[in-house]
Amino acid sequence: MKIIDLILITCFACCIFVSCERDDLCAEGTANTPQLILRFYDAATTSDFKSATDLFITAVNDDNSTTEIADFVTTSTDSIAIPLRTDRNETKFLFVVNNDDENSQNTDTLTVAYETNNVYISRACGFATNFNITSIDVATDDNNWISNNLIVLPNVTDETEAHVHIFH
C-alpha cells in the first residue's frame, strides 16, 4: 500500500510541476508597434536640419475632435516620433508652429496614409503593428509652413531612423 501511495504522490507532484507555466510578462525592450519618425529640414538647403519652433501636434479623431500628441512649445526640435492609428489606414495630424504666439501661429494639416501589417511577437506581448507608408498629404492653405515632404523609409518597423523628411 505504501508503494501505491508513493507512486500516486509522485505522479501528482509531477503533474503539478509539468502544468506550471513561466510568468507571461512582456520583457522590457521587446519590439512593439513603432512610431513614425519625422525629421525636419530646411527647404532652401535640403541637407540641413531645421528645428520647428514651438511645435505643437494634435491627432484629429473621427469626430473631428483632437488629441494632443506632442508639445514642444518650450523647446524647438528637428526630430519627432508620432503614433499612427492601428485601427485605420490613415491618420490626420495638425502641426502648429509658433504655438506660443497667437499672432504668428501657423497650422498645417498632414494626412499620413499607410497599410498595416500585424506581426505576432509572443503570447505575453501579443501583436505589434508595422506600417507601410503610401503617401503623406499636406492640405494646401494660403500660408503653409511645410513646403514639402519626402518618404525615405516607407516601412515603419522600428524607430532607429527617420521615415519621413519634412521641409519647411
User: pTM higher than 0.95 for the full model?
Assistant: no
The answer to whether position 142 is within a domain reads: yes
The 3-state DSSP class for residue 1 equals coil
- Residue 117: predicted pLDDT: 96
The answer to whether position 2 is within a domain reads: no
- Residue 147: predicted pLDDT: 95
Residue 40: pLDDT band with limits 50, 70, 90: very high
**Phi then psi dihedrals of residue 56, to 5 deg:** -135, 130
Q: Which of 88, 130, 146, 140 minimizes the C-alpha distance to 112? A: 88
- Residue 21: predicted pLDDT: 52
Domains held by the chain: number: 1
DSSP string computed for 38-92: EEEE-SSSTTSB-PBTTEEEEEEPTTS-EEEEEEETTS-BSEEEE---SSSSEEE
What is the edge-to-edge ordering of all strands in the sheet holding 106-122?
Answer: 66-72, 55-60, 90-97, 106-122, 126-138, 155-156
Q: Which of 105, 95, 99 minimizes the C-alpha distance to 69? A: 95
The answer to whether position 93 is within a domain reads: yes
* Domain hosting residue 162, numbered range: 32-167
The answer to whether position 21 is within a domain reads: no
The answer to whether position 125 is within a domain reads: yes
- Average pLDDT estimate for 11-40: 73
The answer to whether position 76 is within a domain reads: yes
**pLDDT of 44-97, one tens digit each?**
999 999 998 888 899 999 999 999 987 666 566 788 999 999 999 999 999 999
- Residue 74: predicted pLDDT: 57
The answer to whether position 134 is within a domain reads: yes
- Residue 78: predicted pLDDT: 83
The answer to whether position 111 is within a domain reads: yes
- Residue 151: predicted pLDDT: 97
